[in-house]
Chain A
């Protein structure tokens, strides 16, 4: 065996070892979550611990679905996530198109300034947000959560949209204009269809961010009117005991739709991210 070959085999082996380690690291909590969700409560803290339940049960799911407010929270999360995604996509793609296609006074400054906003941690914004939303009587409304989530998501969405639209050749738009289309018609018929994979990726990103957000949701979503899933999960934790089975069952219910959506959009997602990255 030549040296180069030995090295190729060896580096292949190392790559697999490292990736396997990462996979285990990333998947263990997920597997534990699924397993625990199907365990009766006596088995959860059994010693010695076992990965899979002896006695599979749907009891935890029953508790979560029919004896708790989790379904309400899921609906709230869906509305807030959907609203955030919709607004982020509309504004973000419009802004991304502008930043990508026009050089106007201050364009690079604005683009950078938005990122600077990202440097402030959300936790530091909690009190001002609370006071602001309280002033507008928006506490415990979808609107407040959507606006709050947008402040985090929108700058990144604008950046992603800008770099994605940068990958669409300008000449296609020019050809369309020479063919007699207006700029808006070109945007609608050429740019947007070509930007679709990128927009799907960006939309998934925006939705996930909102779906998982906890800090802001915990102070704004005070009642069932707007409490979201991540906050709702904490209800199973009492002062002295925590209902781990139900917590995990609710977590499964929260994760699965996202997982399914992700698998469904994966094709676009990878394409979108890759196209944005390479250019």
Chain B
């Protein structure tokens, strides 16, 4: 039930500025993912919102109230930490009841709330265990449970899944998405550097780089229309292929970008690009081909559906799907659409 509004937020540690003029509006009930490479300031931004870190300048409003000077414990915000941060000397039940006891909730109501949350998170059998007797996934669920029972307006997650193995991560991703659906009134801000997590969970993604917001948008909007080389390269896996030189210039751009799935493999003689297959990865559902031209520094990645019969060393041509070409200027920003040059090249 919370609008979060951030206006011109700056964060400085002494001389080093970590966040630069952050502007962001988050409507109630939205699931926002802060995405960016390591060290870009995601955690710092989250901690500024939580109140664990002070804001150097700029405004933070939660539910229309200026929150800069409200202490963390009074912001109505719950947070799930990367390391879970479960209290090691308390049982699962005590961990979850801790905040409720502090709020002087009646004993019976605490029990009901904790039991309810435990049931929802399948933690009932573990309620009387200490955290050290739980698996990573169970600990993570306790951490989430401890936040849920607070019934927060705003839910913050700082890379909650990064300590889990791949399959558990997928499972927890789905669970968190379900929790968000159930708590549809609760705003959630989720930090990750994993773009798959971001794409699958977010209503909107905020891409950060070096303490600046680079782009904000729905996952597929970012995927379809990245507004800069950075966002284009960061979102999507494998990475978008970037091409400079005459081929880009002929389309009126400094750099063009083509996603791996937007490249068709053709005969080398009638293609604009040609190269040798240096490596291929067969995943069953797809095959990734790494194709390197004579003077390319890095191979281009092509995603082919299903299993392919190309063998390494074969020379092939590549043709980008014309509507799927992203054009970027010399400053790295996206160029306007509907440009005639794309059609002539077509």
The interface of chain A, by Cβ under 8 A from chain B, is 169, 171-172, 174-182, 185, 189-190, 193-194
The one of A169, A177, A178, A180 in contact with B83, judged by C-beta atoms closer than 8 angstroms, is A169
Bound Cα distance from A278 to B285, whole angstroms: 48
Bound Cα distance from A137 to B79, whole angstroms: 57
Contact residues in B for A175 (Cβ distance below 8 Å):
79, 81, 85-87, 146
The one of A169, A171, A179, A182 in contact with B146, judged by C-beta atoms closer than 8 angstroms, is A179
Contact residues in A for B79 (Cβ distance below 8 Å):
174-175, 178
Q: Closest A-chain residue to B74, C-beta based? A: A180
Contact A180 B103 (CB under 8 A): yes
What 0/1 pattern do residues 69 to 108 of B give for CB contact below 8 A with A?
Answer: 0001110011101010111110000000011001100000
Beyond the given A176-B87, A178-B77, A179-B98, please list 10 additional residue pairs across the A-B interface where CB-CB is below 8 A. Answer: A172-B85, A175-B79, A175-B81, A175-B87, A175-B146, A178-B52, A178-B73, A180-B102, A180-B103, A182-B73
Identify 26 residue pairs between A and B in the complex whose beta-carbon atoms are under 8 Å apart, listed by A's number. A171-B81, A171-B83, A171-B85, A172-B85, A175-B86, A175-B146, A176-B87, A176-B98, A177-B72, A177-B73, A178-B50, A178-B73, A178-B78, A179-B78, A179-B98, A179-B102, A179-B146, A180-B73, A180-B99, A181-B73, A181-B98, A182-B73, A185-B102, A189-B98, A194-B88, A194-B89
Bound Cα distance from A194 to B130, whole angstroms: 14
B150 at the binding interface (Cβ < 8 Å): yes
The interface of chain B, by Cβ under 8 A from chain A, is 50, 52, 72-74, 77-79, 81, 83, 85-89, 98-99, 102-103, 146, 150
Bound Cα distance from A165 to B39, whole angstroms: 27
Q: Closest B-chain residue to A178, C-beta based? A: B79
Bound Cα distance from A181 to B99, whole angstroms: 7
Contact residues in B for A169 (Cβ distance below 8 Å):
83, 85
Contact residues in B for A180 (Cβ distance below 8 Å):
73-74, 99, 102-103, 150
Bound Cα distance from A190 to B86, whole angstroms: 11
Bound Cα distance from A159 to B247, whole angstroms: 66
Contact B52 A174 (CB under 8 A): yes
Contact residues in B for A193 (Cβ distance below 8 Å):
89
Interface of A is mostly: helix
Bound Cα distance from A172 to B87, whole angstroms: 6
Q: Closest A-chain residue to B156, C-beta based? A: A178
Closest Cβ–Cβ distance, residue A102 to chain B (whole Å): 13
Known: A179-B146, A179-B150, A181-B73. A174 touches B102 (CB 8 A): no
Contact A178 B72 (CB under 8 A): yes
Contact residues in B for A190 (Cβ distance below 8 Å):
87
Closest Cβ–Cβ distance, residue B105 to chain A (whole Å): 11
Q: Closest A-chain residue to B97, C-beta based? A: A179
Contact residues in A for B89 (Cβ distance below 8 Å):
193-194
Q: Closest B-chain residue to A173, C-beta based? A: B85
Contact residues in B for A182 (Cβ distance below 8 Å):
73
Q: Closest B-chain residue to A193, C-beta based? A: B89
Contact residues in A for B77 (Cβ distance below 8 Å):
178
Bound Cα distance from A276 to B99, whole angstroms: 29
Contact A174 B99 (CB under 8 A): no
Contact residues in B for A194 (Cβ distance below 8 Å):
88-89
Bound Cα distance from A177 to B77, whole angstroms: 10
Known: A169-B85, A171-B81. A179 touches B99 (CB 8 A): yes
Contact residues in A for B99 (Cβ distance below 8 Å):
179-181
Contact residues in A for B74 (Cβ distance below 8 Å):
180
Closest Cβ–Cβ distance, residue A274 to chain B (whole Å): 16
Closest Cβ–Cβ distance, residue B226 to chain A (whole Å): 34
Q: Closest B-chain residue to A179, C-beta based? A: B99
Bound Cα distance from A171 to B43, whole angstroms: 13
Bound Cα distance from A177 to B81, whole angstroms: 13
Known: A179-B99, A179-B102, A182-B73. A174 touches B85 (CB 8 A): yes
